[in-house]
């Protein structure tokens, strides 16, 4: 196969590592901006902010800039709401040439006033895009003015696309959330209470997780931001513990809340039986003074796993020995996926993420088997090279990775924000295994060139 | 303070995309070409994601990846590094560079940067051809970027010379299936042609046994070079004006006659297209297409009662909307609202040319609108169906109106890239789908459960 001559871009060597002879090697370079001219799978600062805040369903989200940024993010996440659905609308100040020349503050002001009158939201988020960083609109001032006039929180989100990476966008989103937190009443919040952070309720996943915790007798004050509500966020500083998933996006917020409100946090993952169970046990352990919480957690884990075990054995039998490649947004998810894949007999030949940090990659190196390739901020050429070289049967990624897999005749599991089937929780592990099984075992691959099909 | 003409300031659920998207799509239709956006990483990634969801094909778009320094001190350095990296990794023959709002706002002089780049690296061996299109996102929409890229490609390499037995065809933003059909027609006429852009294979191709940095297919640059000596250019697009179009450039620069027409949808406009080909080739339309036309006329007769007097809202790019409206008019469906997020200012005028009695028929034209504007119209217009891209689904669901999906993007159905719209064959497919949509609606609405309709 023609992969030997695909070279890594100069300047990317340090972001790729192959585990050989058990050696750990040098640290993977990460936390850097993408190389110019490389087709990064990452997006920008705006994207980071937009994905984090998007699921807040009773707020309006207005994108201040030309039309593109709003158009491409209209209703693209499968983050569902149990009530209002303002987040699924796309609002843009749609700046034109004259606005760029004369400034867009007035247009932003009028847009906000009109939209708030029309939709009666509980808050508004204003995202600044690249141009705003150049033309110097004072969106903070506009937000303050509208907030005063309309009596609802209006948060500026400083997400100019070029001012950093997606991670900086996460931070800008967390900063906006911090403006809300602490402004609501903490009455009727129990000692045994948590916030769920970094769970975006894709395909209703936050509901699944919430139900487990509630069954354990724990009060969930706010989920940030899945099925998010402004009022819940405002009073979230009343919770006893922050439970953080998708650590890349929300660790910053958890740290801020710890500093300001003294709320400790733990990192969890809801993917795979192993990590899902641990998320329940870790929370139960935190509330160790009430042993029945742990007892209930054990019952949940026992019941759930017993329920799905027979099906999982069926999947495992079929999938044992198959090889997977993982390329997702955050590295923390990669850890869970490696474990989840092991549960169904699959090994991992490529593991990578868009935004992992040094610690993440060191942990990945420890977890991975011999021969596994680890990459940071990869690109289609590289991904394809490794998928072919390592003869992967499956790629786990997002919509941008999907056509690479299918072109090369490799199964695919969408583990990104467009998924419509929940992959979190125990039921999520079952869905994940089923999806992997259905894609890897499909008879259509017999026609793929790499399986000997005609070209 | 400037007084607003409309009550609505913000755009809500936009009915258009931004300029650079169209350019990337067009560049994808040039052989061995990598689209390259001079701007933030997000632009390239969002546009890739958007295009992939429709075509289900890999599309690599490189980015110069602006950071704060670049934004302050200019993107020249980044662009050059980017071009070098793309050249190393993709080994392209062409790099299609388009700007974004960011690089346009800081006033980047891309042609100058490209000249510097060529001067610096030209001696190290052959450099890829570079096509540059200016596509600020704060102007126009994706369709403007599309045409800008096509025009830029022609401008970069077209050469004059003795007239060749060759026509150019610039079909605008159509589906890969449409492109294949046009190529089939031209081949059957025995007419040598250059069709630009041709993404029929790059965005709807076969499986790969090995990784292709750039998918096979596309119009070769050597062919684009010949466009300057063609006998004529056929260009689809009612609202596309000569100074913005590829055919317009060739006419002005090399005297290649520009034959512009609406996208050929419906019998009348398809006839127009085939007559043009008959005239250019001095050959009759091949029997195969006369057969297609006969079957279409027959289908119109078979289906006319289902569709007569039905009201439709059509939305999307202006040129597509105009052509669909003209087709609907010839089958007895009233396009009560022809809407577009685009704003060429020519939509009403051009539609009037195709449907002279549009006022009497109650056909309304609105440009520069978003989906909330269109949705507001549905209450008063009471249409029977919606015709347009996937983004109308929100409105379709809310108003319980059936949606016939056409154009781009089709994100919520399978096979959008294989939808045919043009010529007799495309019209046949559209007609069948529209009739079936109405029949299905009637069948589902009836408690009787008819098994024949």
In whole angstroms, how far apart are CA A396 and each of A11, A383, B20, B419?
26, 11, 29, 29
Give the sign of the dihedral formed by CA A178, CA A180, CA A184, CA A190. Answer: negative
User: What whole-number distance in Å separates Cα of residue B447 and Cα of residue A417?
Assistant: 40
For residues A113-129, average pLDDT: 97
A 10-49 residues with CB below 8 A of B? Answer: 10, 33-47
Strands A16-18 and A373-376: antiparallel
pLDDT in tens, B62-111: 999 988 888 888 899 999 999 999 999 899 999 999 999 999 999 999 99
Query: Percentage of residues in chain B with pLDDT exceeding 90?
Result: 92
The C-alpha of A231 sits at a distance from chain B's nearest C-alpha, in angstroms, of 25
Chain B partners within 8 Å of A63 (Cβ):
none
CATH architecture of the domain with range B287-445: 3-Layer(aba) Sandwich (3.40)
The C-alpha of B141 sits at a distance from chain A's nearest C-alpha, in angstroms, of 9
Asked whether A337 and A415 are in contact (CB, 8 A), the reply is yes
Of B5, B3, B9, B12, the residue nearest B372 (C-alpha): B12
Greatest Cα pair distance, chain B, in angstroms, is 78
Mean model confidence pLDDT for chain A: 91
Quote the crossing angle between the two packed helices A425-440 and A331-343, to the nearest 10°. 70
pLDDT in tens, B167-207: 999 999 999 999 999 999 999 999 999 999 999 999 999 99
The C-alpha of B432 sits at a distance from chain A's nearest C-alpha, in angstroms, of 30
Chain A partners within 8 Å of B44 (Cβ):
39-40
pTM: 0.94
Give the sign of the dihedral formed by CA B228, CA B232, CA B234, CA B235. Answer: positive
Indicate the SS3 state at residue B340: coil
pLDDT score of B256 more than 70: yes
Name the residue facing B57 among A43, A68, A403 (closest C-beta): A403
Range of lowest pLDDT (A214-218, A357-361, B418-422): A357-361
Any CB–CB contact under 8 A between B44 and chain A? yes
pLDDT score of A49 more than 80: yes
- The size of the A-B interface in CB pairs under 8 A is 244
For residues A227-235, average pLDDT: 98
Confidence of residue A6 (pLDDT cuts 50, 70, 90): low
- Fold match flag (B167-204+214-281 vs B287-445): yes
pLDDT score of B394 more than 50: yes
Any CB–CB contact under 8 A between A71 and chain B? yes
Range of lowest pLDDT (B207-211, B218-222, B429-433): B207-211
For residues A224-238, average pLDDT: 97
Indicate the SS3 state at residue A96: coil
Nearest CA in chain A to B50: A72
Before B178, cis peptide (omega within 30)? Answer: no
Class of residue A406 by CB neighbours under 10 A (exposed 0-12, middle 13-18, buried 19+)? buried
Any CB–CB contact under 8 A between B89 and chain A? yes
Chain A partners within 8 Å of B100 (Cβ):
130
Confidence of residue A354 (pLDDT cuts 50, 70, 90): confident
Confidence of residue B4 (pLDDT cuts 50, 70, 90): very low
pLDDT score of A84 more than 80: yes
Residues written for chain A:
455
Confidence of residue A381 (pLDDT cuts 50, 70, 90): confident
Which tokens in the block code for residue B366? 């609105």
User: What whole-number distance in Å separates Cα of residue A76 and Cα of residue A210?
Assistant: 24
Query: Is the Cβ pair B9, A107 closer than 8 Å?
Result: yes
Q: Beta strands of A234-346 (E only): which ranges?
A: 241-244, 265-267, 323-328
Quickly tell me which residue has 């709807």 as its tokens: B204
Nearest CA in chain B to A44: B42
β-sheet with B11-12: strand ranges across: A154-157, A123-128, A59-64, A91-92, B11-12
Asked whether A312 and A363 are in contact (CB, 8 A), the reply is no
Name the residue facing B78 among A36, A134, A399 (closest C-beta): A36
Q: Which residues, 6+ apart, have CB-to-CB distance to B73 below 8 Å?
A: none
Query: Is the Cβ pair A106, B207 closer than 8 Å?
Result: no
DSSP class per residue in B141-191: -HHHHHHHHHHHHHHHH----SPPS-EEEE--S--HHHHHHHHHHHHHTT-
Query: Is the Cβ pair B65, A35 closer than 8 Å?
Result: yes
Which tokens in the block code for residue B385? 């169906």
Complex-level ipTM: 0.94
Give the sign of the dihedral formed by CA B170, CA B61, CA A37, CA B124. Answer: negative
Q: Which residues, 6+ apart, have CB-to-CB distance to A206 below 8 Å?
A: A196, A199, A200, A223, A226, A227
For residues B7-32, average pLDDT: 96
User: What whole-number distance in Å separates Cα of residue A396 and Cα of residue A419?
Assistant: 12
In chain B, helix, strand, coil percent, each to 5? 50, 15, 35
Confidence of residue A4 (pLDDT cuts 50, 70, 90): very low
Q: Can you give the pLDDT at residue A31? A: 64
Buried b (16+ CB within 10 A) or exposed e, A141-155: ebbebbbeebebbbb
Name the residue facing A67 among B8, B14, B84 (closest C-beta): B14
Confidence of residue A207 (pLDDT cuts 50, 70, 90): very high
Q: Spelled out in words, what is the top-level CATH class assigned to the domain B167-204+214-281? A: alpha beta
Domain residue ranges of chain B, discontinuous segments joined by +: 19-157, 167-204+214-281, 287-445
Query: Is the Cβ pair B11, A43 closer than 8 Å?
Result: no
User: What whole-number distance in Å separates Cα of residue B266 and Cα of residue B302?
Assistant: 16
User: What whole-number distance in Å separates Cα of residue B392 and Cα of residue B302?
Assistant: 29
Query: Is the Cβ pair A99, B40 closer than 8 Å?
Result: no
pLDDT score of A355 more than 90: no
For residues B391-401, average pLDDT: 95
CATH tag for B19-157 (out of 3.60.15.10, 3.40.50.1980, 3.70.10.10, 3.10.110.10): 3.40.50.1980
Query: Is the Cβ pair A161, B68 closer than 8 Å?
Result: no
- What's the half-sphere exposure (Cβ side, CA atoms, 13 Å) at A428? 30
Q: Can you give the pLDDT at residue A11? A: 64
The C-alpha of B292 sits at a distance from chain A's nearest C-alpha, in angstroms, of 32
Q: Can you give the pLDDT at residue A1? A: 37
Cα angle, residue A301 at apex, residues A295 and A304 outer, rounded to 5°: 135
Q: Can you give the pLDDT at residue A83? A: 97
Q: Can you give the pLDDT at residue B3? A: 40
Quickly tell me which residue has 């490389």 as its tokens: A38
Paired residues of B12 in beta bridges = A91
For residues A324-349, average pLDDT: 91
- For B87-90, the CB contacts below 8 A with 24+ separation are B87/B127, B87/B128, B88/A7, B88/A9, B88/A10, B89/A7, B89/A9, B89/A37, B89/A38, B89/A381, B89/B213, B90/A381, B90/B34, B90/B60, B90/B62, B90/B213, B90/B214
Any CB–CB contact under 8 A between B20 and chain A? yes
User: What do you get for the CA distance between the two ends of chain A, in Å?
Assistant: 14
| Residue bearing the bigger pLDDT, A362 or A216 | A216
User: What do you get for the CA distance between the two ends of chain B, in Å?
Assistant: 59
Any CB–CB contact under 8 A between A400 and chain B? yes
Chain A partners within 8 Å of B141 (Cβ):
67
Any CB–CB contact under 8 A between B441 and chain A? no
The full set of domains in chain A, from first to last, is 13-30+320-419 (3.40.50.1980), 45-180 (3.40.50.1980), 193-301 (3.40.50.1980)
User: What whole-number distance in Å separates Cα of residue B61 and Cα of residue A91?
Assistant: 26
Chain A partners within 8 Å of B136 (Cβ):
66, 97
For residues B321-340, average pLDDT: 98
Q: Can you give the pLDDT at residue A10? A: 59
Query: Percentage of residues in chain B with pLDDT exceeding 70?
Result: 98
Chain A partners within 8 Å of B4 (Cβ):
110
Confidence of residue B5 (pLDDT cuts 50, 70, 90): very low
Name the phi and psi angles at A278, rounded to 5: -60, -35
Confidence of residue A365 (pLDDT cuts 50, 70, 90): confident
Query: Is the Cβ pair B11, A400 closer than 8 Å?
Result: no
pLDDT score of A434 more than 70: yes
């Amino acid at each position: 196969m023609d992969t030997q001559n695909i070279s890594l871009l100069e300047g990317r060597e340090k972001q790729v590592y192959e585990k050989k002879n058990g050696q750990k090697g040098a640290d993977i370079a990460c936390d850097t901006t993408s190389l110019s001219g490389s087709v990064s799978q990452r997006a920008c600062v705006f994207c980071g902010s937009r994905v984090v805040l998007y699921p807040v369903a009773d707020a309006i989200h207005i994108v201040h800039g030309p039309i593109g940024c709003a158009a491409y993010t209209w209703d693209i996440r499968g983050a569902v709401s149990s009530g209002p659905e303002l987040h699924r609308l796309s609002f843009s100040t749609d700046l034109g040439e004259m606005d760029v020349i004369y400034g867009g503050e007035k247009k932003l002001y009028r847009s906000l006033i009109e939209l708030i009158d029309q939709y009666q939201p509980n808050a508004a988020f204003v995202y600044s895009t690249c141009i705003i960083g150049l033309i110097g609109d004072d969106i903070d001032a506009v937000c303050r003015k509208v907030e005063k006039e309309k009596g609802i929180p209006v948060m500026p989100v400083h997400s100019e696309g070029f001012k950093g990476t997606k991670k900086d966008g996460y931070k800008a989103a967390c900063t906006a959330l911090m403006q809300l937190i602490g402004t609501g009443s903490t009455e009727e919040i129990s000692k045994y209470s948590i916030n769920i952070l970094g769970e975006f309720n894709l395909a209703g996943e936050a509901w699944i997780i919430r139900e487990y915790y509630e069954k354990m007798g724990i009060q969930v004050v706010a989920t940030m931001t899945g099925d998010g509500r402004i009022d819940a966020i405002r009073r979230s500083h009343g919770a006893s513990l922050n439970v953080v998933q998708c650590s890349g996006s929300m660790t910053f917020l958890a740290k801020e809340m710890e500093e300001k409100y003294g709320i400790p946090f733990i990192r969890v993952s809801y993917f795979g039986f192993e990590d899902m169970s641990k998320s329940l046990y870790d929370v139960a352990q935190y509330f160790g003074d009430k042993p029945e919480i742990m007892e209930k957690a054990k019952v949940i884990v026992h019941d759930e796993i017993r329920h799905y075990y027979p099906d999982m054995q069926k999947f495992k039998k079929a999938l044992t020995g198959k090889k997977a490649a993982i390329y997702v947004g955050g590295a923390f998810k990669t850890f869970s996926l490696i474990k989840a894949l092991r549960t169904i007999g699959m090994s991992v030949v490529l593991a990578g993420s868009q935004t992992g940090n040094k610690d993440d990659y060191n942990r990945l190196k420890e977890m991975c088997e011999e021969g596994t390739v680890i990459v940071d901020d990869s690109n289609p050429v590289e991904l394809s090279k490794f998928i072919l070289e390592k003869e992967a049967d499956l790629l786990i990624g997002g919509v941008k990775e999907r056509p690479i897999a299918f072109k090369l005749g490799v199964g695919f599991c969408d583990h990104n924000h467009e998924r419509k089937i929940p992959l979190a929780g125990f039921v999520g592990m079952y869905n994940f295994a089923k999806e992997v099984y259905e894609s890897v075992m499909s008879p259509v691959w017999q026609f793929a060139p790499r399986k000997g099909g005609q070209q | 303070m400037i007084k607003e003409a409309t009550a609505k300031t913000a755009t809500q659920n936009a009915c258009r995309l931004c300029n650079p998207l169209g350019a990337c799509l067009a560049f994808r239709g040039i052989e061995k070409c990598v689209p390259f956006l001079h701007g933030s990483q997000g632009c390239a990634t969002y546009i890739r994601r958007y295009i992939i969801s429709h075509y289900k094909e890999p599309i690599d778009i490189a980015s110069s990846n602006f950071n704060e320094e670049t934004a302050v001190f200019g993107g020249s350095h980044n662009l050059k590094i980017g071009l070098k990296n793309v050249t190393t990794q993709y080994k392209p023959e062409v790099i299609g560079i388009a700007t974004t709002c960011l690089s346009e706002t800081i006033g980047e002089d891309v042609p100058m940067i490209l000249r510097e780049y060529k001067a610096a690296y030209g001696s190290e061996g052959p450099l890829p051809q570079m096509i540059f299109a200016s596509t600020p996102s704060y102007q126009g929409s994706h369709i403007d970027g599309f045409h800008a890229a096509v025009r830029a490609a022609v401008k970069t390499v077209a050469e004059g010379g003795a007239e060749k037995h060759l026509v150019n065809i610039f079909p605008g933003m159509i589906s890969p299936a449409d492109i294949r059909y046009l190529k089939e027609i031209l081949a059957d006429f025995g007419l040598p042609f250059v069709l630009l852009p041709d993404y029929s294979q790059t965005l709807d191709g076969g499986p790969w046994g090995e990784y292709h940095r750039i998918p096979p297919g596309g119009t070769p640059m050597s062919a684009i070079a010949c466009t300057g000596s063609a006998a004529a250019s056929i260009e689809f697009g009612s609202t596309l004006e000569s100074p913005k179009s590829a055919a317009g450039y060739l006419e002005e620069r090399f005297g290649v006659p520009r034959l512009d027409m609406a996208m050929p949808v419906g019998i009348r406009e398809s006839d127009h297209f085939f007559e043009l080909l008959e005239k250019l080739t001095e050959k009759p339309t091949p029997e195969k297409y006369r057969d297609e036309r006969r079957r279409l006329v027959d289908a119109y007769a078979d289906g006319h009662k289902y569709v007569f007097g039905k009201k439709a809202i059509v939305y999307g790019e202006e040129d597509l909307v105009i052509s669909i409206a003209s087709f609907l008019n010839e089958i007895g469906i009233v396009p009560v609202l022809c809407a577009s997020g685009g704003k060429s200012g020519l939509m009403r005028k051009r539609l009037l040319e195709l449907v002279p009695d549009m006022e009497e028929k109650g056909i309304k034209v609105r440009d520069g609108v978003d989906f909330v504007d269109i949705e507001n119209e549905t209450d008063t217009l009471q249409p029977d169906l919606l015709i347009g891209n996937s983004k109308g689904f929100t409105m379709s669901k809310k108003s319980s109106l059936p949606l016939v999906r056409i154009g781009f993007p089709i994100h919520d159905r399978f096979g959008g890239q294989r939808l045919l719209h043009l010529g007799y064959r495309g019209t046949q497919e559209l007609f069948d789908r529209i009739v079936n949509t109405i029949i299905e609606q009637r069948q589902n609405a009836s408690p009787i459960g008819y098994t024949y309709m």
